Amino acid sequence: MGKLSNIFGILALLLAGAAAYFSFAISARRTEFRLRADKTATTVVEIVKAVDADSGTFLANTISFNAGDPKAGTKESGSLGWKSFQDAKDDSGAYAAFQNLLNQAVAHVNSLGRQRNTLAESLVDISTSLTLPEEIIIADLRNLGDTTTFERATAKVKRHAAAVAARDKALIDAIVQAGSAMGQPVRESSLTTRRETHDADGQPMLGDFTHDNELAAFTRGVSEMNERSKSYSQTLVDAIDAIGAHQGVFRWSVDRNRLRDRNAYAGALTQMVDDFGKINEQLGGYVVAKKEVAQLSTKVDKLEEDLDQTQKELTTAQDQLVKASNRIEQLMRAAGMEVEGGPAGYELDKEVAIKGKVLSVDNDYNYVIVDLGARYVEDNTELLVARNDKLVAKIRVAKVLSKISVADILPSAMQGTVQADDLVILSALQPTAAKPGSR
């Protein structure tokens, strides 16, 4: 019996040692499990807080954890703490409420992932819409394992979006300035404002820009200005052609074809203005000449009236002279006297030499106007000009009018300077072939 007691005593010692060992081992393992649980719960809380930041969600207010400290005698707390876990146990032995918190955390993170993917795909769609010349791969924007790849992809999108925005701003400014220069103002607000529409739920949302009508009007204005420009150019060319038909009077230095060249028309216009200035000077001279001609015409009309009266008186005198000459010839023949004839090749006119006078002289152009008209002279008839019984010059009729004639001064026979009121003589002895009035 004593031996049996010893055996049981030894066995009890062994069991006590084993129990002590297992108790220590279990305590150490329990401490490790607690530490792992604390870290896991803390990590979940930090993840939830990180996802909550600037996301408009507040799950971090529901999921919380504060680790306990056995040495300090503080217990863990929070919705993910041991106490909350125990309290979540229901009649079926499950921990549905606790599991629901974990499910919310998982759903929160999954939502962030979906949102990230949607944003990545949206960035790619935006890049495509903005015609980004560099390829953007969705995988680059979803890549969390290589931040450099992700940052490069997003940087490409941002750079291109900024470049497109700057280009659009420059285009809008150019269109507004062009419209102002054309005298057809473009409202900048119509190019930068978007129409307000509504989604399927009736919520307001921005739609397309309101630029259609404004740009259409601007396009029409540019087209009309282009047509006007072509018309102006053609009009100038036609004007040059019309005036150029009088090349002997008006001369052009401008090249008409340069007016249609957008790179050369400015210089051509400058030349054209210079040409018009010269033509204007010529026209000014013509205006003065026209006034002088009008004044001369008035004088000529008066002279013709005076000449007509003088001619009537002269005709009467000549008739009387002819009658007297005939009477003298009759008397001479009755008295048996011989009447002398003219030189050979000439015939004696019963009339005395026809006389007229110089009405005006143009020394610049070397011509005179005399008061002998178509009744007495014809083209190319030569007349003598005398003053105080002295020969001054010889003239040749260039143009015969009804009561006056225009005659050129013959330089070869000039004995002096022809003046107004000088005597003009048409000799009575005329070559038979060129006798005036024989027409």
**What average pLDDT score do residues 388-392 get?**
82
Which amino acid, residue 158? K
Alpha carbon of residue 36 to chain centroid: 77
SS (H, E, C) 390-432: EEEEEEEEEEECCCCEEEEECHHHCCCCCCCCCEEEECCCCEH
For strands 367-370 and 354-362, give the pairing: antiparallel
Looking at mean pLDDT, say which of 57-71, 160-174, 292-306 comes out highest.
160-174
Please name the helix (run of DSSP H) or strand (run of DSSP E) that holds residue 208, with its range, or none.
strand 204-209
What value does the mean pLDDT of the chain take? 76
What are the residues facing 424 on neighbouring strands?
356, 385
Percent above pLDDT 90 for the chain? 10
Alpha carbon of residue 31 to chain centroid: 85
Tell me the domain boundaries of the chain. Answer: 13-114, 250-303, 353-434
CATH code given to domain 353-434: 2.40.10.340
Among the listed ranges 6-20, 29-43, 137-151, 353-367, which one has the minimum average pLDDT value?
Answer: 6-20
pLDDT digits (tens, 9 = 90+) for 164-194: 889 989 999 999 998 898 888 989 888 888 8
Task: Check pLDDT > 70 for residue 249.
Answer: no
**Residues 130/161, Cβ–Cβ less than 8 Å:** yes
**What average pLDDT score do residues 136-156 get?**
81
The interaxial angle of helices 2-52 and 96-129, nearest 10 deg, is 30
Helix (H, G, I), strand (E, B), or coil: what is residue 384? strand
pLDDT at residue 129 in the model: 82
Task: Please report the DSSP string for 178-199 in residue order.
Answer: HHHHHT----HHHHH-EEEEE-
pLDDT-derived band of residue 339, with 50, 70 and 90 as boundaries?
very low
pLDDT at residue 398 in the model: 93
